[in-house]
Amino acid sequence: MKRNKKVLVFLGSPRRKGNSAILAERIAGGARAAGASVETVFLHALAIAPCKACYACQKSKSKGCSIGDDMQPLYRKMIAADAWVIASPVYWFTMSAQLKLWMDRSFALPAYGKDPFEGKRIAVAMAYGGEDPFDSGCVNALRTFQDAYHYVGAKIIGMVYGSAMEAGDIKANKALLKEATALGKKLADDND
């Protein structure tokens, strides 16, 4: 039976209405139009400490991550979601620190549920101030997502990224906004 998908959006920029957030919102809009329910998490507003490599989360019968911060409620939400939208600006030729903290801490996810990454559907949205994805460093982050999520058995459904400097500049790139909406529909589609 067809079940509507749950999509969890992670905004990795401190700019709540910045360019990567705008792309993520377009993806969310496409997913909603395809019947998905969407929840958005603004990482910059949360207290998420760096992973301290205690490996408590990797022990058998682990109760999860030993750090009691705002990451805790996210673990179960991440497991319950069918799909994640991962949005980040390019900072120093890769993803933002906010997003990397979240990504490192997701190392503990297997302590909260069996094979939590397996088959997880992922869409990526990125913005950069440089000329193109190569000279801006965007590709470094894209490659990290590809390698990391392939390694854990998740499925990257698509990636949208474009050049924009000031918050909102990305709106001028109409073709990219359309691409983002289409990606959201694909993310929520049962047939793919």
Choose between 75 and 161: whose C-beta lies nearer to ligand FMN. 161
Q: How far is the CB of 25 from ligand FMN (least distance, A)?
A: 11
Q: How far is the CB of 68 from ligand FMN (least distance, A)?
A: 29
Listing from the earlier edge strand, what are the strands of the sheet with 83-89?
37-42, 6-11, 83-89, 121-128, 155-163
**Residue 49 CB partners (closer than 8 Å, separation 6+):** 67, 69, 71, 101, 105
CA distances, 7 to each of 24, 34, 38, 44, 91 (Å): 11, 11, 5, 19, 25
Q: What is the largest CA-CA distance in the chain?
A: 51
**Residue 101 CB partners (closer than 8 Å, separation 6+):** 43, 48, 49, 50, 51
Choose between 106 and 173: whose C-beta lies nearer to ligand FMN. 173
User: Which residues are near ligand FMN by CB under 6 A?
Assistant: 13, 15, 18-21, 89-93, 127-130, 136-137, 164-165, 167
Q: How far is the CB of 16 from ligand FMN (least distance, A)?
A: 9
Q: How does 46-74 read in b/e, with b if 16+ C-beta sit within 10 Å? A: eebeebeeeeebeeeeeebbebeebbeeb
Choose between 136 and 181: whose C-beta lies nearer to ligand FMN. 136
Choose between 22 and 122: whose C-beta lies nearer to ligand FMN. 22
Choose between 6 and 15: whose C-beta lies nearer to ligand FMN. 15
Q: How far is the CB of 11 from ligand FMN (least distance, A)?
A: 8
Q: How far is the CB of 172 from ligand FMN (least distance, A)?
A: 12
Choose between 29 and 137: whose C-beta lies nearer to ligand FMN. 137
Q: Is 162 helix (H, G, I), strand (E, B) or coil?
A: strand
Q: How far is CA 94 from the centre of its chain?
A: 14
Q: How far is the CB of 26 from ligand FMN (least distance, A)?
A: 13
